[in-house]
């Protein structure tokens, strides 16, 4: 794959289509006459000629002069190219009465609102079943894995309860070539894309078959096959990655976008600001999907931000933005599909804020009843749940009934436990994996350190538990 | 987070000409014999003729045979390396603050015109965004090459998380299914005479504690061109630190065609038998003057090593030298505590214990910040290096 061919013109903003042959360097930007002292830098003649201010795109050389005409009724300035003058002094306020609205396709009983929302449901039975099954699989897997952590069989787990609709609804709207950069509560994305139960389990048990070679905490999934980048614990760091990956897709002229998921807490990180801003200025086909579930561990959104959620920020970056009901898998699906269309056809980012409620504890290391009332959680669970909503939608169409549901759940439970037991029995990766993949080839120091460990282990054989690792002590290479 | 007064940083040399001329802002005491301005145009560590350049055995044979060199200062040679990188790899992009018009140090001059705005572009003023974006571009496809510029090493810290937790660990955590090895981060570093707290820092120590990263510091134009091109092509994230005072001051005959120099290898710049001095970047020229004075005043024969790759560094070359001389010193501008010097000193006493005749000396910046008018007292100078040679020899 190479960029040598011309970029797909249709995908490029107009400013890119005619790269000015000259790139004016207005004197106001030349930092010092000394800059131009070197022989190969032509010096601009000294003069008093007024250089017009310019509005550019990343210094692309396509800047167009901006001229403030005398007597104009508006400010024409590079920093704000079309701002009307006013003599009324008035500060803009965030108005809680005017919150950005929340898009819905079906109500809590699974009934589609009058408009069809451009979705031809009759032809989507297969896909609906796949979505439903993915969501149920995640929820059953979550229960089993949560309990197994409580029994000490895995070290850690994070469940997705209440947010399966966001992950699966959006995944269903994406293409296989779309690249995912997730936070950690998006198992449904992998489930829908076809990550195997064995792959989930191998990762959580960190066994020799784990794609991540047993290096990461549970639920830090990765899959090259599914274009799903390795999850890291650091919050929001993946956001600018998705901007950069979107830019790569743009240069490749691919009919694909980058997608990143993050919580409303992570959106307080500087990375959120950095990522959205650079995605906007570079015109990156990137979808920013925020799961606003009301809590960042124990911190309620009241302590997280004062504005109108995350969506209100998008517009400030010049990004098309929408808020959606995260418990409505169809609304999430529809919004993601449209957003993807915008991102790819117009080569620009889109921000989606999906509203939901974190029904579960934050993780296995958290008891959420220390900071919120049990009744609040129970109330949410009873009132609205993305899985129940989609099931009701299917039942209304006679696609689904109680028997089918019991059968599906029984079968899934069996399959998951089978994968669970197989993964638990597998050996851990060879100890040499501790050193591999830090560089493309291990450094000399690393090789020496590995030999040092092997030597120590050999002399104190009773002090190290190597039986569970592939090749045991021989899994450490002694090559100096 | 800041505004940078950059213009004064260019007053490095008389008339801004790339030459070894005196630094005007810093007068030396009238009776000084040691702390004199560096004469870059006379330094033996820079190559002033095509002949000496082409005698470099690290250069590929075809470069040496072709015999084409041109006089370039360090920023021009960086520019040349970037141009080569962009023209030989059509998946390479170059970006950062103000790179489009040529960069505040002129390193990306004319590259926008040659390669277009999709491949050479400005970013918003946000370091973590620049590096995060670069990681994303590089991790998307292992054939992608992202060359990111941080305007000054002093401003790399907002991106520290992205570099340490993401760039360095990407391959490990993705178990080689994913990596961001195509990322190179360039930044100007070290003192410039009047850079004060935020235009003078040497942050290499921070990054030389992070497995997965490589840290490279060239001493001049020939090195910069070859090492930068190799850093860009190396499939690991590399932090490439350009000593900013050398941008104009260090001038060499540089091979016109493309070539690379090896990462992870130190270079012996002067052979000697009594003491080994290890340094990198700007202070090498101070070391050169001190070594000359040591020869003249004490008859001491100094072996000088340019580390070049600061992390992971070339222990073999250093140990071989110290096992021969029996004495060792490290010179760097960064503060002493937790600096590279400590790591080298500890390693040397592990690797050369039975041969060491004296403690390993360290001449470094003090454990202070670079106060504007105090720079001459903070940066290692000829006197301090010479004095440490004396102490080590007399131990």
Domain CATH number, residue B126: 3.40.50.970
The answer to whether the CB of B248 falls within 8 A of the CB of B18 is: yes
Check A38 against B179: CB less than 8 A apart.
no
Q: Which of B174, B208, B221 to mutate to test the interface with A (most CBs of A within 10 A)?
A: B174
Check A59 against B100: CB less than 8 A apart.
yes
Mean pLDDT of chain B: 94
The reply to whether B376 and B294 lie within a common domain is yes
> Stretch A199-228: mean pLDDT, rounded?
97
Residues in B touching A247 (Cβ below 8 Å):
93, 133, 136-137
Q: Is residue B243 part of a domain?
A: yes
**C-alpha closest to that of A349 among A181, A231, A167:** A181
Ranges of chain B with pLDDT below 50: 1-25
- In this predicted structure, what is the pLDDT of residue A39? 31
**pLDDT above 70 for A33:** no
The reply to whether B386 and B283 lie within a common domain is yes
CATH value at residue B382: 3.40.50.920
DSSP conformational letter for B164: I
How sure is the predictor about A71, in pLDDT bands with cuts at 50, 70 and 90? confident
Mean pLDDT of chain A: 87
The answer to whether the CB of A209 falls within 8 A of the CB of A424 is: no
Give the pLDDT confidence of A261-305 residue by residue, as tens digits.
999 999 999 999 999 999 999 999 999 999 999 999 999 999 999
| Length in residues, chain A | 480
The reply to whether B243 and B286 lie within a common domain is no
The answer to whether the CB of B363 falls within 8 A of the CB of B329 is: yes
CA distance A12 to A285: 11
The reply to whether B165 and B216 lie within a common domain is yes
**C-alpha closest to that of A243 among A322, A181, A175:** A181
The reply to whether B89 and B237 lie within a common domain is yes
- In this predicted structure, what is the pLDDT of residue B273? 98
Residues in B touching A277 (Cβ below 8 Å):
124, 126, 129
Buried b / exposed e along A148-162 (16+ C-beta atoms within 10 A): bbeeeebeebbbbbb
- In this predicted structure, what is the pLDDT of residue A67? 77
**Structural domains counted in chain B:** 2
Select from A230, A277, A438 the Cβ nearest to the Cβ of B211.
A438
Note if the bond before B16 is cis, omega within 30 degrees.
Answer: no
Q: Is residue B18 part of a domain?
A: no
Among chain A residues, CA nearest to B146:
A244
Check A230 against B73: CB less than 8 A apart.
no
The reply to whether B83 and B144 lie within a common domain is yes
Check A215 against B172: CB less than 8 A apart.
yes
Check A31 against B138: CB less than 8 A apart.
no
Among chain A residues, CA nearest to B96:
A58
From residue B87, give the alpha-carbon distance in Å to each of A235, B78, B81, B229: 36, 14, 10, 12
Q: Which of B23, B24, B78, B129 to mutate to test the interface with A (most CBs of A within 10 A)?
A: B129
**pLDDT above 70 for A21:** no
Select from B109, B124, B236 the Cβ nearest to the Cβ of A440.
B236
> Beta strand A102-103 with A320-325: parallel, antiparallel or unpaired?
parallel
**The pair of three-digit structure tokens given for residue B203, joined into one six-digit string:** 């942050």
Report the catalytic residues of B. Answer: 127, 199
The number of C-beta contacts closer than 8 angstroms across A and B is 231
* Domain end among B255, B284, B305: B255
Q: Is residue B31 part of a domain?
A: no
From residue B107, give the alpha-carbon distance in Å to each of A36, B39, B238: 12, 23, 18
In chain A, how long is the greatest CA-to-CA distance? 88
| Residues forming beta bridges with residue B70, ordered by sequence position | B254
Place of tokens 């292992």: B142
Select from B102, B119, B132 the Cβ nearest to the Cβ of A244.
B132
Residues in B touching A51 (Cβ below 8 Å):
none
Question: In Å, how far is A64's CA from the nearest CA of chain B?
Answer: 15
CB burial class (10 A; 0-12, 13-18, 19+) of residue B366?
middle
Q: Which region holds residue B332: left if phi is over 0, alpha if psi is between -120 and 50, else beta?
A: beta
Q: Is residue B116 part of a domain?
A: yes
In which element (H, E) is residue A188 found?
helix A187-193
The reply to whether B70 and B133 lie within a common domain is yes
The reply to whether B347 and B316 lie within a common domain is yes
Give the pLDDT confidence of A313-339 residue by residue, as tens digits.
999 999 999 999 999 999 999 999 999
| Cβ neighbours of residue A299 closer than 8 Å, sequence gap 6 or more | A265
**The pair of three-digit structure tokens given for residue B219, joined into one six-digit string:** 């001493």
Q: Is residue B38 part of a domain?
A: no
The reply to whether B276 and B346 lie within a common domain is yes
- In this predicted structure, what is the pLDDT of residue A218? 97
Check B102 against A25: CB less than 8 A apart.
yes
| Cβ neighbours of residue A216 closer than 8 Å, sequence gap 6 or more | A203, A206, A222, A230, A231, B173
Check B135 against A244: CB less than 8 A apart.
yes
CB burial class (10 A; 0-12, 13-18, 19+) of residue B159?
buried
> Beta strand A74-77 with A80-84: parallel, antiparallel or unpaired?
antiparallel
Residues in A touching B143 (Cβ below 8 Å):
1
Q: Is residue B34 part of a domain?
A: no
Among chain A residues, CA nearest to B237:
A439
Residues in A touching B94 (Cβ below 8 Å):
none
The reply to whether B243 and B310 lie within a common domain is no
CA distance A36 to A30: 8
The reply to whether B297 and B216 lie within a common domain is no
**pLDDT above 70 for A56:** no
Check B117 against A179: CB less than 8 A apart.
no
CA distance A163 to A290: 11
Q: Where do the domains of chain A lie?
A: 1-38, 101-425, 431-475
Check A223 against B177: CB less than 8 A apart.
yes
What are the DSSP calls for A367-419, one per residue?
-GGGTS-HHHHHHHHHH--HHHHHHHHHHHTTS--HHHHHHHHHHHHHHHHHH
How sure is the predictor about A252, in pLDDT bands with cuts at 50, 70 and 90? very high
The reply to whether B307 and B359 lie within a common domain is yes
Per CATH, is A101-425 categorized as 3.40.50.970? yes
Residues in A touching B192 (Cβ below 8 Å):
none
Show the domain range for B278: 265-394
Place of tokens 């100007």: B188
How sure is the predictor about A37, in pLDDT bands with cuts at 50, 70 and 90? very low
Give the pLDDT confidence of B319-353 residue by residue, as tens digits.
999 999 999 999 999 999 999 999 999 999 999 99
Give the pLDDT confidence of B127-177 residue by residue, as tens digits.
999 999 999 999 999 999 999 999 999 999 999 999 999 999 999 999 879
* Domain end among B202, B223, B255: B255
**The pair of three-digit structure tokens given for residue B173, joined into one six-digit string:** 């955590």
The answer to whether the CB of B395 falls within 8 A of the CB of B358 is: yes
The answer to whether the CB of B258 falls within 8 A of the CB of B59 is: no
Question: In Å, how far is B32's CA from the nearest CA of chain A?
Answer: 30
Lowest-pLDDT range of A87-101, A171-185, A200-214, B32-46: A87-101
Question: In Å, how far is A2's CA from the nearest CA of chain B?
Answer: 7
Select from B75, B99, B133 the Cβ nearest to the Cβ of A243.
B133
Check A246 against B136: CB less than 8 A apart.
yes
Check B6 against A271: CB less than 8 A apart.
no
* Sign of the C-alpha dihedral computed for residues A7, A8, A9 and A15 taken in this order: negative
- In this predicted structure, what is the pLDDT of residue A382? 83
Q: Which of B96, B140, B256 to mutate to test the interface with A (most CBs of A within 10 A)?
A: B140
**C-alpha closest to that of A262 among A296, A305, A303, A291:** A291
- In this predicted structure, what is the pLDDT of residue A236? 98
How sure is the predictor about A116, in pLDDT bands with cuts at 50, 70 and 90? confident
How sure is the predictor about A9, in pLDDT bands with cuts at 50, 70 and 90? very low
Q: Is residue B330 part of a domain?
A: yes
Give the pLDDT confidence of A285-296 residue by residue, as tens digits.
999 999 999 999
Select from A232, A240, A246 the Cβ nearest to the Cβ of B129.
A240
- In this predicted structure, what is the pLDDT of residue B45? 98
* Domain end among B225, B255, B285: B255
Residue A28: count other Cβ atoms within 10 Å of its Cβ: 9
């Amino acid at each position: 794959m190479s960029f040598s061919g011309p970029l797909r013109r249709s995908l490029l903003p107009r400013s890119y289509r005619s790269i000015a042959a000259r790139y004016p360097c207005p004197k106001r930007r030349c930092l010092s006459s000394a800059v131009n002292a070197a022989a190969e830098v032509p010096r601009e003649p000294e003069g008093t000629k007024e250089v017009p201010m310019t509005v550019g795109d990343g210094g692309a050389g396509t800047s167009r002069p901006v001229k403030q005409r005398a007597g104009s009724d508006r400010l024409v300035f590079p920093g704000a190219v079309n701002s009307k003058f006013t003599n009324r002094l008035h500060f803009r306020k965030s108005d809680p009465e005017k919150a950005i609205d929340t898009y819905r396709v079906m109500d809590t009983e699974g009934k589609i609102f009058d408009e069809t929302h451009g979705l031809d449901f009759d032809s989507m039975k297969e896909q609906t079943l796949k979505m439903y099954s993915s969501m149920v699989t995640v929820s059953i897997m979550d229960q089993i894995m949560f309990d197994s952590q409580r029994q000490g069989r895995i070290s850690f787990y994070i469940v997705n309860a209440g947010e399966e609709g966001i992950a699966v609804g959006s995944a269903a709207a994406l293409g296989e070539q779309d690249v995912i950069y997730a936070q950690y509560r998006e198992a449904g994305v992998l489930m829908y894309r076809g990550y195997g139960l064995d792959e989930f389990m191998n990762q959580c048990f960190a066994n020799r078959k784990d794609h991540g070679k047993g290096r990461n905490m549970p639920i830090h999934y990765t899959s090259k096959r599914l274009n799903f980048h390795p999850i890291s614990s650091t919050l929001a760091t993946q956001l600018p990655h998705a901007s950069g990956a979107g830019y790569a897709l743009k240069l490749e002229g691919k009919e694909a976008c980058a997608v990143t998921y993050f919580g409303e807490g992570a959106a307080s990180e500087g990375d959120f600001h950095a990522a959205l801003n650079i995605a906007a200025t570079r015109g990156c086909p990137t979808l920013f999907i925020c799961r606003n579930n009301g809590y960042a561990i124990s911190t309620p959104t009241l302590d997280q931000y004062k504005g109108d959620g995350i969506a209100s920020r998008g517009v400030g970056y010049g990004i098309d933005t929408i808020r959606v009901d995260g418990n409505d898998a169809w609304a999430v699906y529809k919004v993601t599909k449209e957003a993807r269309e915008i991102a790819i056809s117009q080569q620009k980012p889109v921000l989606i804020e999906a509203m939901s409620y974190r029904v579960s504890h934050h993780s296995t290391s958290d008891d959420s009843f220390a900071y919120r009332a049990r009744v609040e959680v129970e109330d949410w669970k009873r009132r609205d749940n993305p899985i129940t909503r989609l099931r009701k939608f299917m039942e209304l169409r006679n696609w689904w009934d109680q028997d089918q549901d019991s059968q599906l759940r029984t079968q899934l439970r069996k399959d998951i436990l089978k994968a669970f037991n197989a993964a638990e029995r597998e050996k851990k990766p060879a100890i040499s994996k501790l050193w591999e993949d830090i560089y493309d080839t291990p450094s000399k120091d690393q090789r020496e350190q590995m030999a040092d460990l092997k030597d120590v282990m050999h002399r104190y054989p009773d002090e190290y538990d190597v039986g569970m690792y592939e090749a045991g002590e021989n899994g450490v290479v002694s090559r100096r | 987070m800041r505004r940078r007064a950059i213009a004064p940083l260019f007053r490095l040399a008389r008339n801004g000409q790339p030459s070894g001329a005196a630094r005007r802002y810093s007068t030396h005491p009238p009776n000084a014999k040691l702390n004199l301005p560096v004469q870059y145009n006379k330094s033996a560590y820079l190559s002033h003729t095509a002949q000496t350049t082409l005698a470099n055995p690290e250069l590929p044979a075809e470069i040496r045979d072709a015999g084409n060199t041109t006089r370039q200062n360090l920023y021009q040679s960086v520019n040349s390396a970037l141009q080569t990188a962009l023209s030989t790899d059509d998946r390479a992009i170059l970006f950062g603050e103000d790179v489009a018009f040529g960069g505040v140090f002129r390193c990306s001059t004319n590259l926008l015109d040659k390669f277009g705005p999709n491949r050479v572009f400005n970013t918003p003023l946000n370091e973590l965004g620049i590096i995060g974006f670069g990681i994303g571009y590089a991790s998307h496809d292992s054939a992608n090459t992202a060359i990111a510029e941080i305007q000054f090493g002093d401003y790399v810290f907002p991106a520290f998380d992205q570099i340490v937790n993401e760039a360095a660990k990407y391959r490990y955590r993705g178990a080689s299914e994913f990596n961001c090895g195509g990322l190179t981060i360039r930044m100007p570093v070290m003192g410039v005479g009047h850079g004060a707290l935020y235009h003078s820092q040497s942050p290499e120590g921070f990054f030389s504690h992070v497995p997965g990263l490589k840290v490279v510091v060239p001493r001049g134009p020939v090195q910069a061109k070859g090492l930068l091109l190799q850093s860009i092509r190396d499939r690991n994230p590399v932090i490439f630190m350009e000593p900013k005072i050398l941008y104009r001051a260090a001038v060499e005959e540089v091979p016109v065609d493309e070539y690379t120099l090896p990462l992870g290898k130190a270079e012996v710049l002067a052979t000697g038998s009594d003491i080994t001095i290890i340094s990198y970047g700007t202070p090498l020229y101070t070391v050169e003057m001190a070594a000359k004075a040591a020869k003249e005043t004490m008859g001491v024969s100094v072996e000088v090593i340019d580390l070049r790759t600061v992390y992971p560094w070339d222990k073999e070359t250093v140990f071989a030298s110290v096992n021969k001389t029996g004495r060792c010193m490290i010179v760097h501008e960064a503060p002493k505590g937790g600096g590279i010097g400590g790591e080298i000193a500890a390693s040397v006493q592990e690797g050369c214990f039975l041969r060491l005749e004296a403690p390993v000396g360290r001449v470094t910046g003090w454990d202070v910040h670079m106060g504007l008018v105090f720079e001459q007292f903070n940066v290692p100078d000829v006197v301090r290096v010479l004095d440490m040679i004396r102490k080590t020899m007399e131990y």
